[in-house]
Chain A
């Protein structure tokens, strides 16, 4: 049998962190080429993968090695030359590990973009320098801000096809900046590049000496993301109760731990905390991390809390600070992205709602408006939301949820909607107007 702790793990030697980013754009914008370029130039593509892509490119009579073939993984994607689903890609430099959520850009795949953006620290929107800002670029920018992705990069691609012209680039920067002022963009960066030739992707381009900013990869390596987490409001959704009562070890007989992933704030032994829904307060006595006791826990750590008092705590409950609690709500207002073609969201509809570790039944009270994601126009007469449509919805749930405004905390402000008839995930919600 194992000893008392699962491992004597030494601290990891490398202090690399992880940047998760989403890319939005269509094949026409060169998005897959850009990802292929990042993987290729950071030596994250392997010889056998490249050979396979080169072979397919040659078979198709393509002039350049089509790096897009690296990311289009499914048979249907290669046959149709389109990206169907979110694909996750990995590469690392000595500074960071990167996880790319590669999302298709076609209008029918808004749900994929929303999915990819939900966990992203940063989003890259690709713009074709020849075409400028399109309806699709605006839609991507809006979805990025709706999902509260903290950092946005506009990659103005195909600069080689406009003669690396500074004026073309600056016109696009001006137009996008004007549009972005209508959105809540916290950090906006522009990079002119040619994914095909590698200009400003990894190395600064010699073809655009007028551009004084960093290359795209340099920006990705250095953008500061540690402050993006909410380290203020303590939120600990209880995921699993650990009670090893069958153990023969008498010391473990009374062990009662509340396991979960920290969704916000910093917890320490000795801290006074409140349990919701009971409202009872107690004190943290121990925090057990994956490698033994820790003296603090913060997002995204998975830990187990032990408390001074015996309170009836179960999965779906929340631990917070007595003077800083989430709102306990049965009526929610949220922006909802509808993700199914099966049937539209409409008033009186009944759904299952999963928020943190709590699942409740929900009913749509009203659809306040449907938002045109291209013009930001609000249509208050819309009767329903169809696939890939977004609107402001009022919901009533059967039991209280412990929620924050999505803008304050993505983990306690987001939820998914499930159709009980099909068990499919049919919607994603971002809570608005919580205290």
Chain B
């Protein structure tokens, strides 16, 4: 293809920027890891990592922080994808953290393992001596994330200090840390939800089936549709019913909401996303609804 005008589409520019970030981190850190949940953002990130080093294999493992509250379709997808790409999978289990007494399970109807993941994640980073963890977070997702650096420093307790971040200029990233500290790296910082979907379409990437319309037993809580699975703790006053839904984000099954949708194909999903008037986290994440600063507070503790 002849490009006499030297123009790139926005997806090409974003792809080039993400690949530059991934290569930089692989070059400057000793033990990076890519956080892979089987959600669309981490699927895109893994594809970018493949491209960054092709034809060589991805030079770092992937890690899934497993709450134990999973959608079976996502776990099935995760294992298949990891095998196709040929990367090593590390599973960090929240259940093991609970069994080992590192964290205490929340009680009550709204008990969630969302917050417990932070301890499991930080323990795994320490155990495997990872010094850089790629995350799929995007700045358009949430206002605390809008202020986060691409290469974001974490102290020896895994904490983020939003008021004391390293300035990031041009495409130069400060990768210097001391023993016991690490960085979180966000190669998708400048991507929007729609960019992710456009890229999934362009790359013909397979996604877990729950992203597309399907029939499911759900119940309503706080204006969201939650899957009727044992760990969602459905109460007697929360009647379950059959609905045609899809998931806009993939998180802990006990607190990730489905949306009513008939969009069964990628094109239909993209059309729906382009027209939606509600953010993905606002629509589907109970964990963000706790307060104005719910994400900021969790991030400071070391959350994704």
Contact = CB atoms under 8 A, between A and B. Distances in A.
A73 B16 contact: no
Interface string A73-110: 11110100000111111101000010100000000000
Contacts of A304: 54
Given A239-B20, A290-B51, A418 B176 contact: yes
Contacts of A5: 54
Interface stretch (B34-42, B210-218, B232-240, B276-284): B276-284
Contact of A90 (B50, B190, B203): B190
Nearest to B142: A73
The interface residues of chain B, by DSSP majority, are classed as loop
15 contacts: A7-B47, A47-B277, A48-B278, A71-B146, A73-B143, A85-B163, A85-B165, A92-B194, A242-B55, A260-B23, A290-B16, A301-B8, A339-B167, A411-B171, A420-B176
A103 to B, nearest CB: 11
Interface in B121-173: 139-140, 142-147, 162-163, 165-172
B9 A16 contact: yes
A292 to B, nearest CB: 9
Instruction: Give the size range of B's interface with the partner.
Output: 35 or more
Q: 9 shortest A-B CB distances, which residue pairs?
A: A73-B143, A48-B282, A244-B56, A118-B169, A302-B19, A12-B9, A423-B176, A302-B16, A425-B166
Given A6-B50, A18-B10, A118-B170, A88 B292 contact: no
Nearest to A19: B10
A259 B52 contact: yes
Contacts of A10: 202
Nearest to B279: A46
Given A88-B190, A300-B13, A302-B52, 5 more contacts: A17-B10, A86-B147, A97-B192, A246-B57, A301-B12
B7 interface: yes
Contacts of B13: 17-18, 300
Interface in B182-217: 189-190, 192, 194-195, 198, 202-204
Interface of B: 1-3, 5-17, 19-20, 23-24, 26-27, 47, 50-57, 84-86, 139-140, 142-147, 162-163, 165-172, 174, 176-178, 189-190, 192, 194-195, 198, 202-204, 276-279, 282-283, 292-293, 296
Interface in A280-303: 288, 290-291, 295-296, 298, 300-302
Contact of B84 (A2, A246, A259): A2
Contacts of A291: 51
Instruction: Give the size range of A's interface with the partner.
Output: 35 or more
A418 B19 CA distance: 24
A85 B172 contact: no
Given A87-B147, A247-B56, A46 B162 contact: no
Given A89-B146, A302-B20, A6 B51 contact: yes
Contact of B292 (A71, A78, A246): A78
B171 A266 contact: no
Nearest to A288: B54
B8 to A, nearest CB: 7
A113 B65 CA distance: 37
Contacts of A114: 167, 169
Contacts of A88: 139, 146, 189-190
B227 to A, nearest CB: 21
A98 to B, nearest CB: 10
A183 to B, nearest CB: 20
Contacts of B293: 74-75
A40 B277 CA distance: 11
A109 to B, nearest CB: 11
B170 A7 contact: no
Contacts of A60: none
Contact of B9 (A15, A43, A243, A339): A15
A243 B178 contact: no
Contact of B144 (A16, A74, A357): A74
A11 B203 CA distance: 10
Contact of A2 (B5, B15, B85, B195): B85
Nearest to B3: A296
Given A86-B147, A357-B27, A425-B167, A48 B7 contact: no
Contacts of B176: 352, 418, 420, 423
A231 B8 CA distance: 14
B6 A354 contact: no
A401 to B, nearest CB: 13
Interface string A240-261: 1011101101001001000111
A186 interface: no
A243 B146 contact: no
Contact of A7 (B27, B204, B283): B204
Contacts of A74: 143-144, 147, 162-163, 293, 296
Contacts of A296: 3
A99 B146 contact: no
Given A73-B146, A255-B55, A290-B51, A15 B7 contact: yes
Contacts of A178: none
Contacts of B144: 73-74
A15 B10 CA distance: 7
A172 to B, nearest CB: 30
B164 to A, nearest CB: 9
